[in-house]
A = this chain, B = another copy of it.
Amino acid sequence: MKIILASKSPRRRVLLEQIGMKFEVAPAQGEEETRFVRPWEAVMDLAAQKAREAATGRDGLEETVLVIGADTVVALGDEILGKPKDEEDAYRMLSLLQGTSHKVYTGVSLLLLEGEFLKSHIFYRETEVVMHPMSEEERRWYIGTGEPFDKAGGYGIQGRCAVFIQEIRGDYNNVVGLPVAGIYQELKKLGIEMDDLCE
């Protein structure tokens, strides 16, 4: 089975490597847009768009192909936080998130192409994250590390921001950007086993 990760995120790649999966990377080229406003609907829609783009032209092959698409956002109440536009936007996001709890949503789209047959499955995971208070100085220090800019919500839980994370409730890897436990458990329902996924 050929596995394709439809994402350019290095953190998602590291997570699939961590569980020993053999895969190729084929990120979607387009800028996905969604009409959904609720975060769990938006991330599932965007994940599905990414997976579909990467799957195009790969049907009807002899080999079985599994495409994994994913999208992650941070939500604080009604506000969805994507990637910060600049330093001030990062400061604004960190100021909103520090000292309180927020939710991280990752949507995942699994497309399984077996010759002319297509199985697909889409789901999301929600994780609550509680952050320690961050002083103005700490927020500026963290922005100075350069970490916030390519990350939803302006922080990386797997980076230096770890010292400001008080606790989480849910799947940690979902916050990093890919709920590998959820993916494995859902793939089992599609009849796929560990030996199919790993070297």
Interface size on A, as a range, is: 20 to 34
What 1/0 mask marks residues of chain A from 5 to 21 whose CB sits below 8 Å from any chain B CB? 00000000001001110
Measured CB to CB, the residues of A under 8 A from B are 15, 18-20, 127, 132, 138, 141, 145, 157-160, 162-173, 180-181, 183-185, 194-195
Which B residues touch A18, using CB under 8 A? 158-160, 162
Name the one of B132, B169, B170 contacting A181, with C-beta atoms under 8 angstroms.
Answer: B132
A180 lies within 8 A of B162 (CB) = yes
B145 lies within 8 A of A20 (CB) = yes
B145 lies within 8 A of A166 (CB) = no
A181 lies within 8 A of B164 (CB) = yes
Which B residues touch A138, using CB under 8 A? 194
Q: Which one of A163, A167, A184 has the greatest number of beta carbons of chain B within 10 Å? A: A163
Q: How far is the CA of A185 from the CA of B163 in the complex (A)?
A: 8
A5 to chain B, nearest CB (A): 16
Name the one of B15, B19, B170 contacting A167, with C-beta atoms under 8 angstroms.
Answer: B170
Also in contact, A171 and B167, with CB within 8 A (given A20-B145, A132-B185): yes
Which B residues touch A165, using CB under 8 A? 171-172, 181
